[in-house]
Chain A
Amino acid sequence: MDYIIEMLHITKQFPGIIANDDVTLQLRRGEIHALLGENGAGKSTLMSVLFGLYQPEKGTIFKNGQPVKIDDPNDANALGIGMVHQHFKLVHNFTVLENIILGVETTKRGFLKMDQARKKVVELSERYNLKVDPDARVSDITVGMQQRVEILKMLYRENEVLIFDEPTAVLTPQEIEELMKIMKELTREGKSILFITHKLNEIKQVADRCTVLRKGRCIGTVDVAGVSKEEMSEMMVGRKVNFIVEKSQAHPGEPALEVKGLTVNSSHGKKLVNNVSFTVHKGEIVCIAGIDGNGQSELVYALAGMLPADGGTVRLNGKDVTHASIRSRNDMGMSHIPEDRHKDGLILDYSLGENLVLKRYYKPQFQKGGFLKFKEVGRYADKLIERYDIRSGQGAATIARSMSGGNQQKAIIAREVDLNPELLLAVQPTRGLDVGAIEYIHKQLIAQRDAGKAVLLVSLELDEVMNVSDRILVIYEGEIVADLDPKAITIQELGLYMAGSQRRQAQ
């Protein structure tokens, strides 16, 4: 067998846990090999070992049959291994060109010589059809272009083994198609690709073989063509997974949220949210679908009161909240599961209990005359922990920082749902979580809807959008360009709307 890379019996430990436990992975020359597993299964760790970011405690790596030592990314690079990371490693205020050459700059006596580099970058960009603007600042370009810059980084270094870590998280279906085409083109040119993902569709589309990891162990390597999605999913999770979200018919009632002409401007005057109008009724789940960066974050922030609205109105149960304070919106029945659980959703240095009363600490239930009633807080926290199955080391006293992402998210959801809101704003509530947690959260959202509450969901996961929502609003460049019934369209069509190629108002 012509293996270009072999990782044999790799064990990588961190204090207290074994991230990779005797994992073996073999990459054939010219193949696209998928690495499948849930969040936390050890896929990123394994690839970080290959890329020299970590050193394994046990095991060896072979390239072209020769054992090699990869102590840092320079070694990996010298062996022709390159990696596109899940969280892009680009310096935000450098240009595209500077980012590509960083670490392998052409210099003359220490001074930067950019002309040769620029020529090579332009050449590569044309050859592989990776459109970039070499002089644009990274902070100004789209996420799609940023990813192309990461790919160019690898090609510039003439890497032969390309590792992609969850590359499609931020792309539209069309861009995903393009990426798949690029990956196939790269293998035709002789590159070999390792491709980390938890998305079965993509594996089926483009991978030749797939290695499945679960909780640090290697479950097996399969030929993608000969195995079904259900089988792969079962290998990944360890049990049968229900793909279809079970839910009954929606019975939308009165309008809970009415948005008319909402506009949010950026500091440069650009319209981030442009004259948006829509309604969310009680008892329905409306999902705002769109590529990251098209205004959905700002839209939700404006609804929650965290960004000022520059125009238009927002009515919650008939009351005008357009310029109301964040706290009064909370008190009037708006709950918000934020996009960034660490930045907005939790105070990581506070305990779980203190976080659970984050929106209620000032209510008479928890304070008297300005003094907190700690016993009450503890009691309430224990109740929520029990009811929502939040796992933590020391119960309500656990410091939030030490909880796992899944449980942190459960804590946020517990807090927001227990406020018994009229309107629940949920932004990417399942991001970065494992299948079990995802199922649980979907159940919670549907339970809210069945209890007659209104749910506004923002999601980038197209499966989630299609399965969970009753109605889809597509946002593109700050405008709502379509109002769709998930039962009546396909993912491809949805993708077209998201890319701005089509528009459709509600029938």
Chain B
Amino acid sequence: MSKFRRFLESRGFINAASSILAIVVGLLVGLVILLVSNPSEAFRGLWVILQGGFGGGAKGVGQVLYFATPIIMTGLSVGFAFKTGLFNIGTPGQFIVGAFAAIYIGVKWTFLPGALHWIVALLGATVAGGLWALIPGIFKAFFNVNEVISSIMMNYIGMYGVNYLVKKNIYDSLKALSQNVAPTAVLPRAGLDKIFYNMTGANNVHDASTVNCGILIAIAMAIVVYIILNKTTFGYELKACGYNRHASRYAGINEKRNIVLSMVISGMLAGLGGGLLYLSGANGRRIKVVDVLAAEGFNGIPVALLGLSNPLGIIFSGLFISYITQGGNYLQRLDFVPEIIDIIIAAIIYCSALALIFKNLVVRLVGGKKKEAEDIAAEAGRAGMSGKGLLPPEETPETPEKELAADQEAETGKEE
């Protein structure tokens, strides 16, 4: 088998290819909706979506990076939890708790010197997110409480709690928002505003994007998570617990401890995401005191799914979703409703659920064996995702047919 052939038949390629296929189908769904709404502008609309951030010039591209930052973080949070066998649907709560901690430190701890202030604020966000996920983690490990429900509960408790604490401590009652943070707490631009800007107006003003070092931090975190999961003994243990609790126990791994740690790390990532988003701009963003769960939290789920829970994949899927979301904003110029983007993203996710068809298609196009495709699809279903949060999957029983097949494969493997 030539090396190229082997690459085409490798799991990595087939997974990536089927994700891309899902994206294409999702975009086609979007096109259909555009056609239905306003046929004359439909193709222009699709082009605007495909242009994405570029539709706003260099500033637009900067905005893509800016909006990608929080969802990459929540995507990492969800993806990390998936890989370790947990469904962290509590990212909205962890996110907003992190945001609150960051803003609180930003507003109140002005005794900190410039360079430290924002770093400490981010650390605070991280710790807060981790603590918030601690409860679902402990509840699952020690009381066998489904982490999906406990996380949902924590989402609401977090939302109301943060609203209350903002009102009590750092409130701007005129605007029903939290107060501005001190300038030293805002994330440094790291020179990115000098790269991503448009020249506008008669006076050639620099209209810079709000992007800052947050995107760099997010990407760095993705790399860190990747290293932890794939290169360390800790990651080996966490994944083992996610794939098979019983065998991990048999091997002497402390699965209770690992469940708690997984949730905490997952929460830390989401909390940091909250910090990164809310410490940006000129005076930081301000928390709206409303009874609405943080959308960035939930948006981490499609990012994780599209990125197949792989930290590096999540960078790309986060960027991609931010990219077309930006395009969606520009759609309003053509009188389209920007919610089309959400519909497209939903369609993409739905198609990625139909992994079996797509993977078969890709494998057939590449000319590989059908059984391999089924194995790979089955793996995606099992690898930390299928029905997780509600019941661990049963192992498939051995069948005589599988035995003979495996033996045959072993024989050919030996020959090569």
Contact = CB atoms under 8 A, between A and B. Distances in A.
A329 B250 CA distance: 11
A20 to B, nearest CB: 10
Nearest to B375: A402
Contacts of A392: 409-410, 413
Interface in A376-404: 391-395, 398-399, 401-404
A345 B410 contact: no
A404 B400 contact: no
Contacts of A15: 369-371, 374, 405
Nearest to A325: B252
Contact of A348 (B234, B236, B244): B244
B236 A391 contact: no
A362 interface: yes
B248 A347 contact: yes
Interface residues of A, number: 58
Contacts of B291: none
A326 B249 contact: yes
A371 B233 contact: yes
A402 B406 contact: yes
A296 interface: no
Contact of B236 (A304, A372, A403): A372
B406 A404 contact: yes
A240 to B, nearest CB: 22
A359 B252 contact: yes
A407 interface: yes
A421 interface: no
Interface string A303-332: 010100000000000000000011101100
Given A350-B240, A391-B414, A393-B412, A17 B252 contact: no
A391 B410 contact: yes
Given A87-B397, A394-B413, A371 B231 contact: yes
A347 B406 contact: no
B405 A17 contact: yes
Interface in B223-245: 231-234, 236, 239-240, 243-244
Contact of A344 (B233, B240, B247, B374): B247
Select the residue from B253, B395, B400 with max chain A CB neighbours within 10 A. Answer: B400
Nearest to B403: A40
Nearest to A327: B252
A358 B247 contact: yes
B233 A372 contact: yes
Nearest to A328: B252
A326 B252 contact: yes
A19 B409 contact: no
B233 A19 contact: no
Contacts of B414: 391
Interface in A236-270: none
B400 A45 contact: yes
A17 B369 CA distance: 12
A343 interface: yes
B400 A19 contact: yes
Given A326-B249, A347-B240, A215 B404 contact: yes
Interface in B359-416: 369-371, 374-375, 379, 382-383, 395, 397-414
Contact of B410 (A42, A45, A358, A403): A403
Interface in A26-49: 39-45
The majority secondary structure among interface residues of chain B is helix
Contact of B413 (A345, A367, A391): A391
A336 interface: yes
A16 to B, nearest CB: 5
B404 A19 contact: yes
Contact of B407 (A354, A361, A391, A395): A391
Contacts of A393: 406, 409-410, 412-413
A257 B314 CA distance: 51
Given A370-B233, A407-B406, A16 B369 contact: yes
A372 B398 contact: no
B108 interface: no
B253 to A, nearest CB: 8
Contacts of B397: 87
A14 B401 contact: yes
A349 interface: yes
A338 interface: yes
A359 B403 CA distance: 26
B404 A347 contact: no
A335 to B, nearest CB: 11
Contacts of B232: 370-372
A327 B383 CA distance: 25
Contacts of A338: 250
Contact of B403 (A345, A348, A372, A404): A404
A306 B400 contact: no
B251 interface: yes
B408 A358 contact: no
Nearest to A329: B252
Contacts of B253: 327
A401 B243 CA distance: 12
A432 B411 CA distance: 20
A304 to B, nearest CB: 8
A1 B234 CA distance: 68
Nearest to A398: B413
Contacts of A17: 401, 404-405, 408
B230 to A, nearest CB: 9
A44 B240 contact: no
B155 to A, nearest CB: 30
B246 interface: yes
A240 B414 CA distance: 26
Contacts of B412: 393
Contacts of A342: 395, 398
A63 to B, nearest CB: 25
Contacts of A394: 413
Given A14-B405, A330-B252, A367-B233, A404 B379 contact: no
A349 B407 contact: no
Contacts of B374: 15
Contacts of A371: 231-233
A15 B373 CA distance: 11
B250 A405 contact: no
A361 B236 contact: yes
A482 interface: no
Contacts of A39: 400, 403
A491 to B, nearest CB: 28
A407 B414 CA distance: 13
A445 interface: no
A336 B236 contact: no
B414 to A, nearest CB: 6
A339 B17 CA distance: 40
A43 B403 CA distance: 13
B382 A349 contact: yes
A478 interface: no
Nearest to B227: A371
A139 to B, nearest CB: 16
Contacts of B383: 349
Nearest to A54: B401
Nearest to B397: A87
Given A391-B414, A405-B403, A354 B250 contact: no
Contacts of A330: 252
A46 to B, nearest CB: 10
A359 B251 CA distance: 5
A372 B239 CA distance: 14
Given A343-B395, A361-B233, A372-B236, 14 more contacts: A14-B401, A44-B400, A45-B401, A306-B249, A345-B247, A350-B240, A359-B252, A391-B413, A392-B413, A394-B413, A395-B413, A404-B402, A405-B406, A407-B406
Q: Which 9 A-B pairs have the closest CB atoms?
A: A327-B252, A391-B410, A404-B406, A393-B413, A393-B409, A40-B403, A326-B252, A344-B250, A15-B371
21 contacts: A19-B400, A19-B401, A40-B404, A45-B401, A325-B252, A327-B251, A329-B252, A338-B250, A342-B395, A343-B247, A347-B240, A349-B382, A350-B239, A358-B240, A367-B233, A391-B410, A393-B412, A402-B406, A404-B406, A406-B403, A406-B407
